[in-house]
């Protein structure tokens, strides 16, 4: 080996290192084993954009297409397509509610549905104008009228009505049918004129042209047992119901007897009544008659006729003849 007289330059040292690397064998690289995954195999894999939920788009409304063939072969006319509207339940309910509201408003506001006249049937003793005025229905909407309330109102205001029926119909019809009590007796007490029907019920406010038996009284006769029971039940049935209860002043048998007794009096003579002596009258021949109640009226009339005949035979002018007690008549 030769000795180097001169030191190596930098370039020579670099070339020497390269040659030495080429002569040195490279170390073998270990093979990389593939890593097996324990995860299950992926069957379907979606993109992230595909897994995002999106609102389904509105379906296009179907349109009905109408085609009409012309008489010429191969020719037809196509009309413009019309949308096929399918309203939901909410829209249908809203339409029904709106229609009902409009109908109610029209029934309440239109003059055609306001009562302008009332037909009254069966009224004989009370003027129809008086009945209509008491009902307070003119110019009111027909839908605001209650027939039952109108019937109760008329029965409470007119005790001469035995029964009332009110019918209300469209567009603005009101019909009133009344059944009045038939007066058979006039009872005058304290300047007030009352009428009594065949059942003994008293009522007023009527105009009667017929010539009826008349009683000039200081008080009303004692009410029959049935009327007393109804009067005691008045606090139980209430004030409104009690107003419609007929006010009986005598029994039907008593009414029949009084009417018969009035027919036995001389023309122009009225019956009288007071609490002490009951019925009676002033005889045109100059004396007062006490008759008591109207029971046994025929027997009392026979006794009275016999007493009068006996007094006239004797020439006695009495001031009072009483047959209140048939077994003990007297005069003075």
Asked if the domains at 99-180 and 181-331 fall in one CATH topology, the answer is no
Q: How far is CA 39 from CA 42, 45, 46, 51, 271, in A?
A: 9, 14, 17, 22, 126
Task: Tell me: cis bond preceding 171? Omega within 30 of 0 counts.
Answer: yes
* Cα 306 versus chain centre, distance: 65
Lowest mean pLDDT among 1-10, 12-21, 250-259: 1-10
266-306 tens-digit pLDDT: 888 999 999 889 999 999 999 999 999 888 999 999 999 99
CA gap 33, 30 in Å, rounded: 9
State the pLDDT at residue 1: 44
Of 295, 300, 298, 265, nearest to 282 (Cα)?
265
Tokens at 173, concatenated: 């019809």
Give 115's contacts (C-beta < 8 A, 6+ positions apart). Answer: 137, 138, 139, 140, 141, 142, 145, 172, 174
Q: Tell me the average pLDDT of the chain.
A: 82
Tell me the average pLDDT across 168-180: 94
Q: What is the dihedral of CA 287, 291, 297, 303, to 10 degrees?
A: -60
Predicted pLDDT of residue 213 = 92
* pLDDT recorded at residue 232: 53
- 320-330 pLDDT, tens digit per residue, is 999 999 999 99
Quote the pLDDT of residue 240.
Answer: 47
Report domain 181-331's class.
alpha beta
3 state DSSP class of 175 = strand
Is 82 a residue whose pLDDT tops 60? yes
pLDDT of 38 reads: 63
**DSSP bridge pairs for 10:** none
Which has the minimum average pLDDT: 49-63, 110-124, 246-260? 49-63
CATH of 99-180, one of 3.10.20.310, 3.20.20.190, 3.30.1300.10, 3.30.2130.10: 3.10.20.310
Q: pLDDT for 19-66, tens place per residue?
A: 877 776 656 655 556 655 565 665 555 555 555 555 665 665 555 666
pLDDT for position 78: 74
Domain ranges of the chain: 99-180, 181-331
Q: Does the pTM exceed 0.85?
A: no
Please report, for the chain, how many H helices and E strands are present, in that order: 10, 16
Mean pLDDT of 124-150: 93
């Amino acid at each position: 080996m030769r000795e180097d007289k001169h030191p190596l330059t930098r370039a020579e040292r670099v070339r020497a290192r390269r040659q030495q690397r080429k002569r040195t064998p490279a170390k073998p690289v270990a093979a990389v084993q593939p890593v097996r995954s324990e995860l299950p195999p992926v069957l379907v894999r979606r993109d992230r954009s595909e897994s995002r939920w999106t609102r389904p788009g509105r379906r296009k409304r179907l349109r009905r297409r109408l085609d009409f063939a012309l008489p010429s072969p191969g020719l037809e006319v196509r009309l413009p397509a019309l949308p096929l509207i399918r309203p939901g339940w909410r829209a249908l309910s809203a339409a029904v509610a709106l229609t009902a509201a409009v109908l109610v408003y029209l029934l309440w506001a239109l003059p055609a549905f306001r009562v302008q006249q009332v037909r009254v049937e069966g009224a004989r003793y009370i003027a129809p104008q008086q009945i209509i005025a008491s009902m307070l229905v003119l110019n009111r909407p027909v839908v605001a009228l209650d027939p039952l309330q109108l019937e109760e109102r008329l029965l409470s205001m007119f005790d001469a009505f035995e029964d009332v029926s009110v019918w209300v119909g469209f567009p603005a019809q009101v019909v009133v049918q009344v059944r009045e009590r038939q007066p058979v007796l006039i009872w005058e007490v304290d300047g007030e004129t009352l009428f009594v029907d065949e059942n003994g019920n008293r009522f007023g406010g009527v105009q009667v042209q017929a010539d009826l038996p008349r009683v000039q009284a200081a008080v009303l006769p004692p009410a029959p047992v049935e009327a007393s029971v109804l009067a005691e039940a008045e606090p139980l049935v209430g004030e409104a119901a009690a107003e419609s209860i007929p006010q009986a002043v005598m029994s039907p048998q008593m009414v029949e007897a009084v009417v018969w007794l009035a027919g036995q009096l001389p023309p122009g003579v009225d019956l009288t009544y007071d609490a002490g002596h009951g019925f009676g009258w002033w005889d045109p021949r100059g004396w007062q008659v006490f008759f008591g109640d109207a029971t046994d009226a025929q027997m009392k009339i026979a006794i009275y006729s016999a007493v009068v005949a006996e007094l006239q035979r004797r020439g006695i002018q009495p001031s009072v003849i009483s047959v209140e007690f048939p077994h003990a008549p007297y005069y003075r």
